[in-house]
Amino acid sequence: MIAYTDKIQEIARRLLKDCKVETVIGFRKGSVPMMNEPCFITSADAADGLVWDGNCGINLANYLTNRKEKIAVFAKGCDSRNIANHIIENKIDREQLYIVGVPCQGMIEKRRIRQMAPGEITEATEDGDEIRVKGRDFEEVYNRDEALQKNCAVCVHRNPVIHDEMVADEVEEQTDVDRFADVREIEAMSPEERRVFFRKLLEPCIRCYACRNACPLCYCPTCFVDESQPQWVGKSQNPTDIWTFHFLRAYHCAGRCTDCGACERACPVGINMRLLTKKLNKDAFDQWGWEAGLNLEERPPLDTYRPNDPEEFIK
Amino acid sequence: MKCIKIDKNEWAGGLEAAASTYRLFGPVKEDEFYEFKALEEGRAPDAAAMAVRNTRTSPRSVVYPQAEVLFEYTTDERDPDAHVMKEPEREEKPRAAIGIRPCDAYSFVLVRNNFESPEYQDVYWLRNYEETTFIGQACHDPCSTCFCTTAGCGPFHEEGLDVLLADAGDHYAAKVLTDKGETFMKAAGWGDEIDFPDEEWEGWKTAAGEKIVSEVPTDRLADIDTLALHDADFWDDVAFSCINCGTCTYLCPTCWCFDIQDENKGREGIRYRCWDSCMFPIFTLHGSGHNPRDAKTQRVRQRFMHKLKYFVDRYEAGIQCVGCGRCVQHCPVNIDIRKVCNLMNSFGETESCSVA
């Protein structure tokens, strides 16, 4: 995917030079291995600083909310679905955006590579299917597929669903993946086992809200955990408050989440809170065949009412 | 140089003995990383734990827990103590932070500036700090993101420590720095005093310092005009990627801000304080609804200005950062204090500044 960088710079340069857009949102090279930093550029000269590789996992849809200018944004499959969400939810106009689609082969989970490496990684480069990492006294090569983010490994929408231009030809979509194996494992647990499981899952939480803030869906002007009149949730390390935050946030994402993995990726203490949102993704898929953000035409199931709804409770 | 030799075979036993007098804290393995937290009874940090360079969250919580009850009360008139604000019962044993890294120990020295000043003494923080003994561990092998040597301390820095251990293979060489440290060593039963060659210690120290590859320039910070720096044109660029989470501030050993909260159930209630973060929009939300730091750039600027300018000017104790590199490693969007410090320190030096 590193091959996209030249093309990305070229597109950004052209769009800014031709005044097609005022701002381009993309990534610049990070200051630590396996990290890139979201950035915006407003002049064609700055396009040289844009990069693309397997470390662009941060969902750029997050940076569009409430912007007023005409923007070009580079979008992976999941980013594009979240952009579609934003448009459906009236957070941004389609006309305001020039979406440059980036066919994705999955993003790298730096934590997994750090764990595999025998020491601290000081340099990491991607080369086709391989990731070469170096440390003070070692050099290792890992297979890219073994180091993908968990959500990327089971992603079936790697190609952008809406775009004005593509950086490259579409990539082949994965078809032989079991997307919800982890959710089924939890569903099979007894209530008591689940309680223990969730307690362990959320125990490390330090309430930094990186998961919420990295999530493109979490754009509420004031999150329910930040409300003070009335205050719904306590601010200590009380497990009930921590659970309330995570569970309620997941419910707020029901029928909207694209499993982009931004939440898990951002968590400084390695919590896989995707397990919560994925359960709701699975429910939406099982019950309505719904996957969020695949097009701009359909309303999400949870903001739709049909008079012929078969459920009694809603009538 | 006088040192106490602690044979590694006597490490676990010594800590077990110390645990009868002290509550021990140290690096503890979680699933994927190490935390600095209370050691379970009889569980000394093993070689792998002691080799951990940076625990994920800092040892800040040993002295300054993320949530700490200040008092409790009841309004139930049947209780003779109704309407009396009572402090919850405290654990009597003093604390000891085992294997704390020199940068983290030094962070408490910086933070003390905030919690103890001529006009204000924070009894909660000070009491916890004073009853804690810091058994530090020198860093022979610092991380690539460590920049302690330009942030006021270093891999063998002693300020803020009561004992400094250096790993000497089959034993630790323990340099006892204070009376508190000596008391702890006695409690652990470690008293094998040896003459440790100064040149070997200094050699280690130099070698470790040479392995530090990151640095921050700070020489101009104090002299730069505060308002001009506040209005510098690089803040929008620095702040763009920020998602306003609390990762940097909650992993940081030197962040000290807190919120005060009341919680009650029926007639019982508590008041506690908990960490807060200047990255959160509600941090500065006024009762009137006005928010002086409503925009992301204002909040990001505040964090860096506080650590690298206001603190420098107010306390003349260097920057409010010990160079542990946690925020550099774990910021979800790669905002790097080293780069920002560089921008700030070179402000006005050249005509334009750029982050990239």
DSSP labels, B175-237 = EE-SHHHHHHHHHHT---EEE--HHHHHHHHHHHHHT-------TTGGGS-HHHHHT-TTHHH
In a domain, B96, yes or no: yes
Numbered residues of chain A with Cβ closer than 8 Å to any chain B Cβ: 28-32, 35-40, 49, 58, 62-63, 111, 115, 120, 122, 204, 206-210, 212-214, 222, 226, 228, 234-238, 265-270
In a domain, B11, yes or no: yes
Q: What is the pLDDT of residues B141-164, one digit of tens each?
A: 999 999 999 999 999 999 999 999
**In B, residues 305-324, which contact A (CB 8 Å cutoff)?**
none
The residue-averaged pLDDT of A132-149 equals 95
CB contact under 8 A, B334 and A49: no
Q: What is the pLDDT of residues B38-58, one digit of tens each?
A: 998 768 999 999 999 999 999
In a domain, B82, yes or no: no
Candidates B156, B173, B217, B172; CA nearest to B344 is: B217
What distance in Å separates the CA atoms of residue B123 and residue B130, rounded to the nearest whole number? 10
Residue A14 pLDDT greater than 80, yes or no: yes
Nearest chain B residue to A263, by CA: B332
For residues B161 and B231, state if they share a domain: no
Q: Which residues of A282-292 are buried (b: 16+ CB within 10 A; e: fewer)?
A: bebeeeeebbb
The residue-averaged pLDDT of A1-21 equals 93
Spell out which residues of chain A touch residue B336, defining contact as CB-CB under 8 Å.
31-32
Inter-residue contact B45 to B27 (CB < 8 Å): yes
CB contact under 8 A, A204 and B30: yes
Closest-CA distance of chain A to residue B234, Å: 13
**What's the pLDDT score for residue A150?**
96
Tell me the CB-side half-sphere exposure of residue A235, using CA atoms within 13 A.
24
**Of the partner residues A35, A204, A209, the one whose CB lies closest to the CB of residue B246:** A209
For residues B48 and B173, state if they share a domain: yes
Q: Which residues of B184-217 are buried (b: 16+ CB within 10 A; e: fewer)?
A: bbebbebeeeeebeeeebeebbeebeebbebbbe
- What ipTM was predicted for this assembly? 0.95
Closest-CA distance of chain A to residue B332, Å: 5
For residues B196 and B314, state if they share a domain: no
Nearest chain A residue to B69, by CA: A236
Inter-residue contact B168 to B174 (CB < 8 Å): no
CB contact under 8 A, B67 and A236: yes
**What's the pLDDT score for residue B32?**
83
For residues B340 and B201, state if they share a domain: no
Q: SS3 sequence, B234-288?
A: CHHHHHCCCCCCCHHHHHCCCCCCEEEEEEEECCEEEEEEEECCCCCHHHHCCCC
Nearest chain A residue to B263, by CA: A234
B interface test, pick of A23, A25, A32 with most B CB neighbours within 10 Å: A32
Count of C-beta atoms within a 10 Å radius of residue B51: 15
In a domain, B10, yes or no: yes
Residue A126 pLDDT greater than 60, yes or no: yes
**Of the partner residues B281, B282, B356, the one whose CB lies closest to the CB of residue A28:** B356
Percent of chain A surpassing pLDDT 90: 91
In a domain, B70, yes or no: no
For residues B171 and B306, state if they share a domain: no
Residue A299 pLDDT greater than 50, yes or no: yes
Residue B353 pLDDT greater than 70, yes or no: no
The residue-averaged pLDDT of B322-338 equals 98
Nearest chain B residue to A270, by CA: B32
A interface test, pick of B334, B335, B339, B352 with most A CB neighbours within 10 Å: B334
**What's the pLDDT score for residue A303?**
87
Q: What is the pLDDT of residues B24-33, one digit of tens each?
A: 999 999 888 9
**Alpha-carbon torsion (B190, B196, B199, B200), positive or negative:** negative
> Which of helix, strand or coil describes residue B21?
coil
Percent of chain B surpassing pLDDT 70: 98
Spell out which residues of chain A touch residue B332, defining contact as CB-CB under 8 Å.
58, 210, 214, 265-268
Residue span of the structural domain in which B116 resides? 2-63+90-210
Quickly count helices (H) and strands (E) in chain A.
10, 8
pLDDT band per the 50, 70, 90 thresholds, residue B352: low
For residues B138 and B11, state if they share a domain: yes
**What's the pLDDT score for residue B30?**
87
In a domain, B119, yes or no: yes
For residues B124 and B205, state if they share a domain: yes
**What's the pLDDT score for residue B355?**
53
For residues B251 and B131, state if they share a domain: no
**What's the pLDDT score for residue B356?**
47
B274 burial level (CB within 10 Å; 0-12, 13-18, 19+): middle
Integer CA distances (angstroms), A110 to A30, A100, B332, B352, in order:
13, 25, 11, 34
In a domain, B18, yes or no: yes
Residue B93 pLDDT greater than 50, yes or no: yes
For residues B56 and B101, state if they share a domain: yes
pTM given for the model: 0.95
Residue B189 pLDDT greater than 50, yes or no: yes
To the nearest 10°, report the CA torsion of B208, B219, B356, A72.
Answer: 130
**What's the pLDDT score for residue A228?**
87
For residues B161 and B119, state if they share a domain: yes
For chain B, the domain total comes to 2
Residue B350 pLDDT greater than 70, yes or no: no
CB contact under 8 A, B333 and A38: yes
Lowest-pLDDT choice from A93-102, A116-125, B40-49, B71-80: B40-49
Q: What is the pLDDT of residues A242-281, one digit of tens each?
A: 999 999 999 999 999 999 999 999 999 999 999 999 999 9
Spell out which residues of chain B touch residue A120, defining contact as CB-CB under 8 Å.
143-144
Closest-CA distance of chain B to residue A30, Å: 6
**What's the pLDDT score for residue B92?**
86
For residues B254 and B300, state if they share a domain: yes
Tell me the pLDDT of chain B averaged across its residues: 95
Residue A123 pLDDT greater than 60, yes or no: yes
For residues B105 and B17, state if they share a domain: yes
Inter-residue contact A13 to A44 (CB < 8 Å): yes
Q: What is the pLDDT of residues A159-168, one digit of tens each?
A: 999 999 999 9
What distance in Å separates the CA atoms of residue A228 and residue A234, rounded to the nearest whole number? 10
Q: What is the pLDDT of residues B203-232, one digit of tens each?
A: 999 999 999 999 999 999 999 999 999 999
Fill in the DSSP letter of residue B310: I
In a domain, B76, yes or no: no
Residue B329 touches chain A, beta carbons under 8 Å: yes
